């Protein structure tokens, strides 16, 4: 993996103001079903941050909470939740709506269902640009065509009259990215952007997203359970488990020296990394527990669990030789020697 | 194969239903609570019970013979002797309305029971019988249910003459296709379930599969559907009687009362109101109740009833 | 597309054939002289003779059926043995009244039903939604002929605002429209509830689609999402149901025509039933069935044509 030639995110001050700044943010469904617990996450301009974790770890809830797209039963709380300078926790509905698009745009997992099947793409992209006053529509049209061309869609003018079913999934995901770019957002949130695509399409979409960061200067928050995707594109990675971030660091730190037993287990289960000759795919025993059920939610599945793990909440500690590498675990924080790391 | 049966047991929804009386009771209680928890369901249950009770106790409630003609007392206004007054033949309207409830319920329940009795075997044959028979039967169900029913009903009436059997025949013609189709779909989906496959693999007889497994699972949804249809069927009976094509004119029935009242609508509004209000209450009541029952037991059965 | 229309037409013709077969079979299955079954005991020998000749009743049953089908295929519904006029002519004379009534009922019911359905969706889960739901289900449940009777009683008999009888003098558009108000109210009321419930359900389903989430993620207003996206999808989903409904409106107007003594297909069928005029009943039943299946074909074709996915697939 070759990290993009960019200054390291955690470089010397003065740091530019973060695009997304979350301090101790929690989300729960209804009154008592927590999905995200006390998450701290900062994304600086032009930074690509990935979140990995199993299904049910709360990573999608986290991504959707940024745009206020959670169902009505969801409750958000925290000490700070700033998106492009606006505090989401204090924003009313209008203020929140104003953020959607210009502050942060989102692309979704399944491009085939992300667009209305009975409206033309041109109609839908025009409606996404509803903020711009352009009576004749010619200006909007030109911008849309330019954006479609920029994401590498052949015959962008002709596509305006096309319906979604006439395009392939990869093409539609490009359209979705073009739509996001039209907003010139500070942050692009990508929720499993390549999961529904085949491998060649995946590579192209990732390449496109990376080049957009270079050209448009957008920050990207990418959610994936696919380690390869994260390794390919991210500067920094946060590992989520049962609603908490259990480990965070540069892509190098996480992939070369994973500290948290859960992260290590994730790598052990990654099909691409499993040594050939193994007869069964390893799995992490058990299921993701309800977040917040115990001090360390991984303890019940942990191979190196100690007595402390049930007595004391694991601290958020700096770890290892990589800058900015943090882990929420008793064991790995104390044991000096990093467990066997792997190169992606 | 014995292993297969073991794993299939938890899949069997109504295995030995009789031995679970406490559970059945609990289920009844939750269903009732569910129905009563919505305002419309509560109103519906209340109205439906009122109608059924009236039908059962009709002869005790009615103060007069509903067919007794008293020409001297024609079109009397409501009074203490005649609560709703009299009709154009001097018959006591209140007694006719009360006994009309019994007519409506008798016709509706007989017709629906007949329709269910016919639809059940038809649907089972289509779903579980020989495969070549399925297509033609479905086509037949679909064609019949896509016919303009009132018109066909009228054609039936012109040929075999008005009367209760005609009304029942029309209702049966109207409802058998939709019930049979439901039985067929239920059967088809059950047929592919593991516990039936296991039974088949064990060489269980067709009769055993039909009566022990398919029938108990099909009958619930079917009864819900029939319950939703009660008000349609009451309307159909009243409508045909209103046209003079249903039950015989002297028999007390809401449709007949409305028909008589329509003839004298410029002289007195009482008969039309007296015949219409119980009909409206009955159709509303059974609709509310049926929908609440469906929502409580099997919301997937939702289908929009056409007016 | 032509193949699609052809298939639908074939099914429609099959349904019509089934209607003809049913009528034919019923006439023969009733024990007794078919002419007496069809025309009643009070019919004259001449009328019975005319009917016997028209249906070829002295020939073998299969020949009779063939004769009937050939006649129907030629669009010949036969002569009414009572008035000796062609049945088709008689039906076509009254058809415009029924179509006018069905159209009037349909238009106001569709308009109000759409509005109620949309309002219910906007207030989804709140008391407005509940109220509209309760009103809608009540509208569907109440028998239309009771609505007809009560509206006749209130607006024509008591208040004397609107005519109680007839369809208005020919040529007098104002009177004809006034004569339409009460009947179309009675026929359409149930459809208001039916359509509002259909619209609500289809729109709620549309609002749960992924693309609505996309639109929301871009801050597109709920109003635009509901009226430009969800409504269009909902309309597409319910179009065929509604169009088939229009077909059944044609037959559903029978009560309104009788209560308001309006000329029309329903009234004519009813009069024919009362006088045991089977040839005329057969004619009206076949014509209404034909109109009904035509609506079904139109519904399928139009909704297929409006849906870009289907349009390109067929």
Q: Which of B159, B262, B307 sits opposite C193 (nearest CB)?
A: B307
Contact A119 C229 (CB under 8 A): yes
The Cα–Cα gap between C145 and C150 comes to: 8
Paired residues of A191 in beta bridges: A223
- The alpha-carbon gap from A97 to the nearest alpha carbon of chain C, in Å, equals 5
The Cα–Cα gap between C96 and C176 comes to: 12
Check if A274 contacts C (Cβ < 8 Å).
Answer: no
Looking at residue C138, what is its pLDDT? 92
DSSP state of B73: G
Burial (CB count within 10 angstroms: exposed 0-12, middle 13-18, buried 19+), residue B193: middle
Residues of C in contact with A116 (CB under 8 A): 209, 211, 229, 233
Residue A14 has pLDDT above 70, yes or no: no
Torsions phi, psi for B79 (to 5 deg)? -150, -175
Size (chain C), residues:
314
Check if C261 contacts B (Cβ < 8 Å).
Answer: no
Give the CATH class of C87-312: mainly alpha
Catalogue all structural domains in chain B, each as residue range(s) with its CATH number: 29-305 (1.10.3720.10)
Share of chain A above pLDDT 90, in %: 4
The Cα–Cα gap between B271 and B261 comes to: 5
Stretch among A60-69, B68-77, B269-278, C217-226 having the lowest mean pLDDT: B68-77
Check if C150 contacts B (Cβ < 8 Å).
Answer: yes
Residue A337 has pLDDT above 60, yes or no: no
The alpha carbons of chain B give a radius of gyration, in whole angstroms, of: 23
H-state helical runs in chain B: 2-8, 21-37, 39-61, 93-128, 131-145, 149-160, 164-191, 194-201, 206-208, 215-242, 254-263, 270-297
Looking at per-residue pLDDT, the higher value among C83 and C197 belongs to C197
Please state, in angstroms and as integers, the Cα–Cα distance from residue C162 to each residue in B169, C108, C159, following that order: 38, 18, 8
Contact B283 C259 (CB under 8 A): no
Residue with tokens 């019911």: C109
Looking at residue C37, what is its pLDDT? 74
Rounded mean pLDDT, A68-75: 82
The segment(s) of chain C belonging to CATH 1.10.3720.10 are 87-312
Check if C7 contacts A (Cβ < 8 Å).
Answer: no
If you measure CA to CA, which chain A residue comes closest to C304? A118
Check if C303 contacts A (Cβ < 8 Å).
Answer: no
Contact B238 C285 (CB under 8 A): no
Q: Which of A69, A119, A163 sits opposite C213 (nearest CB)?
A: A69
pLDDT digits (tens, 9 = 90+) for A82-133: 888 888 888 887 888 888 888 888 888 888 888 988 888 988 888 888 877 7
Residue A338 has pLDDT above 50, yes or no: no
Task: List the subunits that have 3+ CB pairs under 8 angstroms with A.
Answer: C
A with B: 3 or more CB pairs under 8 Å? no
Looking at residue A12, what is its pLDDT? 55
SS3 A4: coil
Tokens representing A332 are 């790995």
Q: What is the pTM of this model?
A: 0.80
Residues of C in contact with A69 (CB under 8 A): 213, 216-217
Paired residues of A63 in beta bridges: none
Check if C108 contacts B (Cβ < 8 Å).
Answer: no
Please state, in angstroms and as integers, the Cα–Cα distance from residue A115 to each residue in A164, C277, C307, following that order: 7, 58, 15
- The alpha-carbon gap from B39 to the nearest alpha carbon of chain C, in Å, equals 10
Q: How confident is the model at residue C113 (pLDDT cuts 50, 70, 90)?
A: very high
Burial (CB count within 10 angstroms: exposed 0-12, middle 13-18, buried 19+), residue B98: buried
Looking at residue C1, what is its pLDDT? 64
The Cα–Cα gap between B296 and C160 comes to: 46
**Cβ–Cβ pairs < 8 A, chains B and C:** 142
- The alpha-carbon gap from B118 to the nearest alpha carbon of chain C, in Å, equals 19
Rounded mean pLDDT, A137-143: 84
Tokens representing B266 are 């410029």
Contact status, residue C78 vs residue C23, Cβ threshold 8 Å: no
**CATH ID of A20-234, from 3.20.20.70, 3.40.50.300, 1.20.120.1200, 2.70.98.10:** 3.40.50.300
Q: What is the mean pLDDT of each run of 10 residues along chain B (307 residues)?
A: 36 44 77 84 92 86 76 75 75 86 91 92 83 82 73 76 84 87 84 71 70 77 87 89 85 89 84 89 93 82 65
Q: How confident is the model at residue A11 (pLDDT cuts 50, 70, 90)?
A: very low
Q: How confident is the model at residue A340 (pLDDT cuts 50, 70, 90)?
A: very low
Contact status, residue A66 vs residue A221, Cβ threshold 8 Å: yes
Looking at residue C111, what is its pLDDT? 93
Q: Which of B143, B279, B283 sits opposite C15 (nearest CB)?
A: B143
| Residue spans per domain, chain A | 20-234, 238-275+282-333
Residues of C in contact with B245 (CB under 8 A): 273
């Amino acid at each position: 993996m070759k990290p993009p030639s960019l200054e390291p995110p955690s470089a010397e001050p003065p740091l530019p103001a973060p695009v997304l700044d979350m301090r101790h943010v929690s989300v729960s469904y209804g009154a008592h079903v927590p999905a995200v617990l006390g998450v701290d996450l900062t994304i600086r301009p032009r930074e690509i941050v990935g979140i990995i974790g199993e299904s049910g770890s709360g990573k999608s809830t986290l991504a959707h909470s940024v745009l206020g797209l959670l169902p009505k039963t969801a409750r958000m709380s925290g000490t700070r939740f700033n998106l492009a300078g606006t505090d989401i926790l204090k924003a009313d509905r209008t203020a929140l709506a104003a953020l959607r698009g210009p502050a942060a745009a989102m692309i979704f997992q399944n491009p085939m269902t992300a667009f209305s099947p009975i409206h033309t793409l041109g109609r839908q992209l025009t409606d996404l640009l509803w903020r711009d006053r352009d009576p004749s529509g010619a200006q909007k049209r030109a911008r849309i065509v330019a954006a479609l061309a920029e994401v590498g869609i052949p015959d962008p003018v002709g596509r305006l009259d096309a319906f979604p079913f006439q395009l392939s999934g990869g093409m539609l995901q490009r359209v979705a990215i073009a739509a996001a770019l039209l907003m010139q957002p500070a942050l692009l949130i990508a929720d499993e952007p390549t999961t529904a695509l085949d491998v060649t399409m995946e590579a192209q979409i990732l390449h496109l997203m990376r080049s957009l960061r270079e050209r448009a200067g957008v920050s990207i928050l990418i959610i994936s359970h696919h380690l390869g995707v994260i390794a390919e594109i991210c500067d920094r990675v946060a590992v989520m488990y049962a609603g908490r971030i259990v480990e965070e660091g540069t892509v190098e730190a996480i992939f070369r020296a994973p500290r948290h037993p859960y992260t290590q287990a994730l790598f052990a289960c990654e099909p691409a990394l499993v040594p050939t000759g193994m007869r069964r795919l390893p799995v992490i025993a058990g299921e993701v527990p309800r977040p917040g059920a115990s001090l360390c939610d991984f303890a019940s599945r942990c191979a190196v669990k100690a007595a402390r793990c049930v007595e004391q909440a694991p601290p958020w500690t700096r770890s290892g030789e990589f800058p900015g590498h943090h882990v929420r675990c008793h064991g790995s924080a104390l044991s000096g020697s990093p467990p066997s790391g792997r190169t992606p | 194969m014995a292993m297969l049966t073991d794993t299939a047991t938890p899949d069997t929804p109504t295995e030995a239903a009789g031995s679970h009386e406490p559970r059945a009771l609990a289920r009844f209680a939750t269903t009732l609570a569910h129905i009563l928890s919505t305002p419309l369901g509560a109103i519906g249950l209340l109205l439906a019970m009122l109608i059924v009770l009236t039908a059962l106790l009709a002869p005790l409630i009615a103060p007069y013979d509903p067919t007794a003609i008293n020409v001297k007392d024609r079109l009397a206004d409501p009074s203490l002797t005649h609560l709703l007054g009299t009709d154009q033949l001097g018959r006591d309207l209140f007694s006719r309305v009360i006994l009309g409830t019994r007519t409506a319920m008798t016709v509706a329940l007989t017709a629906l029971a007949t329709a269910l009795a016919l639809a059940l075997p038809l649907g089972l044959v289509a779903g579980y019988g020989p495969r070549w028979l399925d297509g033609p039967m479905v086509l037949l169900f679909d064609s019949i249910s896509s016919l303009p029913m009132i018109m066909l009903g009228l054609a039936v009436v012109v040929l075999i003459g008005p009367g209760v059997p005609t009304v029942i025949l029309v209702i049966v013609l109207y409802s058998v296709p939709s019930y049979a189709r439901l039985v067929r779909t239920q059967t088809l989906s059950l047929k592919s379930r593991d516990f039936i496959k296991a039974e088949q693999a064990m060489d269980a007889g067709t009769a055993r599969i039909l009566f022990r497994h398919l029938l108990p699972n099909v009958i619930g949804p079917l009864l819900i559907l029939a319950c939703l249809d009660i008000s349609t069927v009451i309307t159909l009976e009243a409508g045909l009687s209103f046209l003079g094509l249903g039950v015989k004119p002297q028999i007390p029935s809401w449709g007949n009362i409305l028909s008589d009242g329509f003839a004298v609508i410029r002289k007195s509004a009482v008969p039309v109101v007296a015949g219409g209000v119980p009909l409206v209450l009955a159709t509303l009541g059974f609709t509310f109740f049926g929908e609440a029952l469906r929502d409580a037991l099997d919301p997937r059965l939702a289908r929009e009833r056409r007016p | 597309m032509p193949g699609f229309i052809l298939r639908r037409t074939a099914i429609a013709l099959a349904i019509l054939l089934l209607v003809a077969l049913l009528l034919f079979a019923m006439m023969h299955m009733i024990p007794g002289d078919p002419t007496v079954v069809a025309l009643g005991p009070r019919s004259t020998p001449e009328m019975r003779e005319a009917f016997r000749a028209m249906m070829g009743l002295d020939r073998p049953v299969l020949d009779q059926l063939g004769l009937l089908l050939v006649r129907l295929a030629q669009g010949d519904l036969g002569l009414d043995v009572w008035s000796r006029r062609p049945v088709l002519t008689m039906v076509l004379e009254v058809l415009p009244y029924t179509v006018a009534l069905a159209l009037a009922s349909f238009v106001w019911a569709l308009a109000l039903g759409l509005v109620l359905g949309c309002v219910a969706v906007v207030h989804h889960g709140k008391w407005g939604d509940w109220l509209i739901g309760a009103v809608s289900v009540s509208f569907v449940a109440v028998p239309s002929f009771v609505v007809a009777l009560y509206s006749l009683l209130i607006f024509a008999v008591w208040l004397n605002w609107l005519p109680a009888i007839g369809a208005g003098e020919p040529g007098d558009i104002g009177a004809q429209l006034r004569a339409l108000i009460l009947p179309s109210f009675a026929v359409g009321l149930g459809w208001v509830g039916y359509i509002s419930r259909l619209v609500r359900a289809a729109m709620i389903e549309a609002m749960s689609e992924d693309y609505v989430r996309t639109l929301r993620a871009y801050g597109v207003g709920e109003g635009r999402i509901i009226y430009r996206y969800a409504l269009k999808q909902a309309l597409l989903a319910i179009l065929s149901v509604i169009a088939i409904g229009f077909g059944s409106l044609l037959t559903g107007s029978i009560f309104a025509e009788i209560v308001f003594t309006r000329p029309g297909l329903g009234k004519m069928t009813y009069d024919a039933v009362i006088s045991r005029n089977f040839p005329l009943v057969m004619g009206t039943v076949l014509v209404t069935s034909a109109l009904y299946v035509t609506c079904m074909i139109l519904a399928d074709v139009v909704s297929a044509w409006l849906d870009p996915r289907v349009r390109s697939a067929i």
